[in-house]
Structure 1
Amino acid sequence: MVLSWLFPWSQPSVLLSSASTDILEDSLQHPALTCLRNLLLVGGGGTWPPRASYRDTWPESLRAYDSVYRTMEPLFPTQESSTDTTHNRKLIDSFRSRMRVLLDQHVNMADVQTALEHAESVPDSCSESAWLGFWLCISFLRHSYRWGVTPIVSEAQNEQTVDFPSQLEVPWSFLQQHFQVTSPGGCMTSLMYTNMRSDDRLEYSVTVGLSEEHQSTEYWNTKLLVSMEERVLPMYHHFARAIAFVDAGDMIAASNALHAASETLKSAFKHFFSTMVETKLAQSIWLAYVQGYQGWTLGGIDGISGGQSLTFRTLDAFLGIRPFPEPEKESLHLPKPQRDWLNFLRDFDIRAAVKARGEDGAAVTEELESLVKQLRLWRMGHMRRMQPYESVHRPERMTMTAGISVVDAPDENQMIEHLKRQLGQRLAQTI
């Protein structure tokens, strides 16, 4: 076991999607294409959305983390939440104590440190897919330790600090450095994109032992976001090609690329709304059993937000929809290849580049405006769809969303008004 770090983190065979293959094999040369390929190769383990690999591809010393989470997995959720703070405190403390015991028993920190140092110093020894899978595992361990029970309860929300075991702190520092993110908690990439296996099931769960409806809602919550990335990847490709064509002065080719992107986006948005329905995402379950554990709140840091979706960040970046997020805030949750892709789109500013060409860019401008219109319609529809999901009464916890922590609102109705104002502001900026 001690020498297990000497062997490479193995790379499983990855079946690339046709869209990923098209991007990697595109003969068109332009920095936009280079940046997009980097998103796949460096940010996704060779494809997009990212494809993680799991415990059998990690050094043996790291596999104990997977074993610990498997033991804790069924202990995290409760069938019914309690509003008794004393009872909840016991649940949280018991869960954390049990995890600390398992980590002490099964994780050899000297071996973990050695394995991670080797992977960091010899990049070829470790596949990106293995890094992604390990990030997923540690993220689930940290989030379950942070809350102690799910649905989350106000007793945990009231905590100002949490003393994490060193077994969860040391690998996290390596993961932050590798992915160049700064948040102490998980993000959409580490908790969701990487959790959907190639055989169409979740690797880790927070609804073990609960009803089929709970498990189905958890599955579709992740599946929807991953499938959106799968569906819009051709759009990313068309965006990169359109930039290359505009740079080359070929407005006809740019217009054609953007028309294809628009058709791809229409299909993806239709899929989004056909999936966000009660039969797949149960309103009575989603808020408490699927969304809650994705929060963080410690140190003023938020958890997962729909705003971390690369789909919508790409649209905003490509279309120049401002204000752009502060770099420090974006680096909390988005790995560097994602940020590089977004910043390239922002810096190029295709709408300004096309406008500078006057009448020659009229057809391209029309296609760009079509994309803006689609995004506006999606945001209006999303405002309506999210309200019944976010307004479910959960007396065991303070009003919150995972992405913006505890909301300064005494009840769910006022929280909805707060969220509507936020979404309405972004809708007004989508011009």
Structure 2
Amino acid sequence: MTKKMDGIKALPEQHEVVSILEELIHKDGAGSWPPRANHTDSTWPVALRSYKEIYQELVLLLPTATPSLNDQVNTTRIANFRLRFRDLLYKRVNLAQVKQLLEAADADRWDVFPRDVYNAFYCCIASSRHAYRWATIPVVQVAQLEKEVDLPIELTEPWKYLQRHFGCTSESGNNMSNLVLNFDTEGRYMYKINTGMYDLVTSSEETFARIFYNVEMLGVPVYHDMVLAIVTFARGEKAACARHVANITAQLRLVLGSYFDHMHDQKIARSVWLSHIQGFFAWGIGSYDDASGECIKFDGLSGNQALLFQALDAFLGIEQYLSPRDQERNVPARQRALCRALAKYSFRQMLSETSNDKNEAQIVHDFGEIVKRLRVFRAAHRTRARVYLSQHAPERLPMTAGKSLLEPNIDQSLQFLDEFMVRRLSQTV
């Protein structure tokens, strides 16, 4: 991966898609990809360390092995957790000093607030917001039915700076903030949800989170070859272009294989995923908008926010799954820019399936292989999603992280979700 990372940094800068990828890696990735997140306590400015300490202290109170089905008991548990969280933030966080650091970053003073620490802090605040929002794991019905939650100012003020920097508006964060950045520079999993629970829960949680980190790690050569395929095609170097498209085809086997190897009951237990993992990444609440006079609701995290699959769709000339509104809310701006550039320079439709040029014929063939593998992946994901979402969870209403509350009946909910997956499968051509 290091060799491919170096290869990206050495790409010729005269092409738009190259400069956009390099800017993404430099600014959002802190010079690396997956993005470098420095979670080492001693490297953080002192004013920020309390956030991490408070999360680690309170996360012990978050999970329970057997959730209560009593709404009154759950309401009290949630209120007590939030009260303690709010109190600790008020007592230990110097918000004025925190804002000074964030303003330094806004002014490109990365000597004061290094980018890799900034990334880790983004994850810390995002994880803290989700912990405060749900206040208990498994997620329970009384929390799901909330319309608004008054988050402490210590979690809302930094969020404004962070989201403005990354170019997102969602209050829930995204796949990058909560999952990919939740691994340190050595690949260790940091902000856990089920601390203190039995091994089946904790191992399933980390394995699930690591899928998204691994997708980006294994995707580095794919980004490298997508960009070089575009550059070489623009130069008329079809033999070189064919090599890069062939590389993508081969590398995709490893990326998708990582998903198939981990998203099954032996690695991520169906008995605990819905109850102890999925719910934490949902959101389903909003805030009052002064301009419109309405409450704007935000959904939570979705695998559809993963950059690699959005980039592949763009490179193939396939319509993006997420709506423009959801992209602007949940996908960091520089990731959106990369996908727009890949779509702009997508050359698949310029190729002829009946070309006598052997290189062009090879490119057409390998594009077909890429599409075939994506279709297999999406078909498998459709099947596995149904199995995992069908698990018994009497403490909650049917809900996904990415689409919030669904239909009251689980069968209706699964049918609703299946329609989205079938449509995406039909678009993958």
Would you call these one fold, judging by a TM-score over 0.5?
yes
For 1:346-385, what per-residue CA distance to the aligned partner results, in whole angstroms no more than 9, with x for missing partners? 1112213435996553332222122111111111111122
Mapped partners of 1:298, 1:204: distance in 2: 22
Matched, 1:101 2:87: yes
> Where in structure 2 are the equivalents of 1:3-402 lying within 5 Å?
17-27=2-12, 29-54=14-39, 55-125=41-111, 126-299=113-286, 300-322=297-319, 325-355=322-352, 360=357, 361-402=360-401
> Any conservation in 1 of the 2:13–2:19 contact (CA below 8 Å)?
no
In structure 1, how many angstroms separate the alpha carbons of the residues matched to 2:7 and 2:59?
A: 39
Contact 2:225 2:245 in 1 (8 A): yes
> Contact between 2:353 and 2:361, CA under 8 Å: does it hold in 1?
no
Aligned to 2:294: none
1:184-222 alpha-carbon deviations (Å, 9 max, x no partner): 112111110011123332111011110011110111011
Q: CA RMSD in A?
A: 1.8
**Gap change, CA 1:325 and 1:293, over 3 Å in 2:** closer
Aligned with 1:123: secondary structure? Answer: coil
Aligned partners of 1:36 and 1:237 also within 8 Å: no
What is the rounded CA distance, in whole Å, between the counterparts of 1:355 and 1:175 in structure 2?
Answer: 45
Q: Distance in 1 between matches of 2:186 and 2:101?
A: 28
**Count of residues in Structure 1 that have an aligned counterpart in Structure 2:** 415
Shift in alpha-carbon separation, 1:379–1:250, aligned structure 2, 3 A? same
How far apart are the structure 2 equivalents of 1:100 and 1:424? 43
The answer on whether the counterparts of 2:406 and 2:413 sit within 8 Å (CA) in structure 1 is: yes
Q: Which of 73-82 and 318-327 deviates more? A: 318-327
% same residue: 33
Deviation at 1:266? Answer: 1.4
1:99-118 residue CA offsets vs partner (Å, 9 max, x unmatched): 01101110112222222212
**Residue 47 of structure 1 aligns to which amino acid in structure 2?**
S
CA–CA distance in 1 between the matches of 2:70 and 2:408?
Answer: 22
Range 25-34 or range 236-245, more displaced: 25-34
Question: Displacement of 1:415 after TM fit?
Answer: 2.2
- For 2:149 and 2:115, the matched residues in 1 are separated by 30
Q: TM-score of the superposition, structure 2-length normalised?
A: 0.92
Q: 1:29 to 1:122 in 2, by over 3 A?
A: closer
Deviating above 6 A after TM superposition, structure 1's stretches of 4 or more consecutive aligned residues are: none
User: CA 1:28 to 1:184, structure 2 compared with 1: closer, same or farther past 3 Å?
Assistant: closer
Structure 2: distance between partners of 1:19 and 1:287: 36
Distance 1:324 1:419 in 2: 13
- Residue 421 of structure 1 aligns to a residue whose secondary structure is helix
Q: Does 1:403 find its partner at 2:402?
A: yes
Q: Distance in 1 between matches of 2:106 and 2:233?
A: 39
Contact 1:387-1:416 at 8 Å conserved across structures? yes
Aligned residue type for 2:248: A
Q: Which amino acid aligns with 1:331?
A: E
- Give structure 1 stretches of 5+ with no counterpart: 1-15
SS of equivalent residue, structure 1 residue 162: coil
- Give unpaired runs (5+ residues) of structure 2: 287-296
Cα offsets for 1:267-300 (capped at 9, x unmatched): 2212220111222111111111111110000122
Q: What is the Cα deviation at residue 323 of structure 1?
A: 5.0
C-alpha distance in 1, partners of 2:322/2:390?
Answer: 27
In structure 2, how many angstroms separate the alpha carbons of the residues matched to 1:296 and 1:324?
Answer: 20
The alpha carbon displacement at 1:31 in A equals 2.4
CA gap 1:198/1:316 in 2 versus in 1, 3 angstroms = same
Give, in angstroms, the shift of residue 311 of structure 1: 1.9
Q: Secondary structure at the match of 1:96?
A: helix
How far has the Cα of 1:261 moved from its partner? 0.8
CA distance in 2, matches of 1:21, 1:142: 35
TM-score calculated relative to the size of structure 1: 0.92
Task: Rate the CA distance shift 1:118–1:36 in 2: closer, same or farther, 3 A.
Answer: closer
